[in-house]
Structure 1
Amino acid sequence: MTTASTYTYQQIARAIEHLTANFREQPSLSELAEKANLSEFHFQRLFTEWAGVSPKKFSQYLTLEHAKNQLRKGAPLSDAAHEAGLSGTGRLHDLFVTIEGVTPGQFKQAGSGLVLAYGVFDSPFGKYVLGEINGKIALLHFLNDGDEPESILANAWPEVTLRQDAEALHELVNQIFPTTANATMSHPLPVLLRGSAFQLKVWEALLKIPEGRLASYDQIAEAIGQPTASRAVGTAIGSNPIGYLIPCHRVIKKTGLFGGYRWGVERKQAMLGWEAARVDG
């Protein structure tokens, strides 16, 4: 990914923000192009290249009715194979995630002397910082203006030594956001998650939501065997440290409203529309 792709996302995000806030009025192409500071022609072309569908089609994926239909279909969380959770046609390759979970206490005992390698990269959804410990992804955090990657990493993993080494992470980056149509997975993507037993159960359940589908907080609570814990599920989802790969963006309110997102509502909406377009495609 290049810096140009991040700038493209920023332009698209402004249009998506306006589109989502006013989807009932179905904003015109000229309105959306103005929000992106582009001519109608260039906006239509840029948006279609980024999303794979026209702005009009994309807007259909962001309507309340579409979200409700997705929830009514129900993501097969109870019987979906863990390995199939992130297999996505839209990514043009099979993407698998395997979780290694530890409690904070367990990690504290074993964390002395560990090094976290990190780098800042571009994606279809803006810049993000990626952190890796012993070959395992320990953090994927999308960045907003003013964010300091080192502070984010230090807060998430205070026991480890930070080492900036973007070059060492390129193989992982190319598997998360492939830049070529024939990109393939050589092996599962391992992630290192530090959390309580409850948090780990929630994050594992998120992996079972198929790409292009949605689930509610209540459905996640049911899937982990605690149907009355939807509020606690929401808290666990909000603390997910690995964006996109652990797909907390696929969880919305049972009313069909998208709800909040740790890395910004417009980014969540961009991800959901982007995935829906690829699955339908």
Structure 2
Amino acid sequence: MDLPVVVGVDGSEPSLRAVDWAADEAALRGVPLRLVYASLWERYEGAALAEELGKPSERVRAEEIVESASLRANLRRAEVKITTDVLPEEPEYTLLRESRTASLLVTGTRGRSALTEALLGSVSLTVAAHAHCPMVVVRGSHDNRAQPATHGRIVVGVGEKPTSSAAVRFAFEEARLRGAEVEAVRAWRCPAHETTDHPLLAGEPARLHEQRAVEGLEAALQETPDDVRLRRRTVEGHARTVLSDASHDADLLIVGAKRRQRHFGLQLSRVTHGVLHHSACPVVIVPEPE
């Protein structure tokens, strides 16, 4: 059975961009598209209260939002089979459950709440930290249309333990689907305590760290398929900054996520958190096995 691309919708402009992007991706993969709206308002308040207040039921509004999103997706990609659902649940809970049976989970950068205008929405952050399948946060546009893939370039971040990277494998898969080039980027830094002012030693610690980065990048790319065009690049700097900069002329930025267990729950790394907030193109978070 072909697992669907699942997209969370709520009527906001970012979620409409996510619908466009998800429809294109479902068409590329030849899989169904599933549109999901989740809200607890109907469960807690109910249609009776809505009628009493002279306002439409949240359920009715949700169904209108989903129907409109479905029509939009159908107009964009008529060949894609579309299913919809409206659920009286917390959005985070619904999307995490959906991620168990999805090939890809897609959200916008934020929801309808004005409180999240300046930052990535709390739903997207929460789901990115726990999703069971690769998750896409659609960034890089300021209207309600997803930008077409025009650069032919996919950037994948390669971390310090790159062997058998699920993110790299996902990048190769996307490159095949899109006919795009993969640029594998490894950031490196020379710790401050290893620098020296001696003219005969200047640059030596940095050279060693750069060489380790080159070797790590090669190790991550040993199993590159013959049909994938690949560029390798090592860059000195913070990984979150290097990858965000690389996203400006990319169609997709892919990073792996090894969720870190904390006393208050699983958390995204600073690199992942940084690119989710600052990338200029859609970001894919790929779960990495421990």
Q: Tell me the TM-score normalised to structure 2 length.
A: 0.28
TM-score of the pair, normalised by structure 1? 0.28
Identify the structure with the greater strand proportion. Answer: 2
**Larger relative contact order (Cα-Cα within 8 Å, sequence gap ≥ 6):** 1
Look at both structures and tell me which one has the larger radius of gyration over its CA atoms: 2
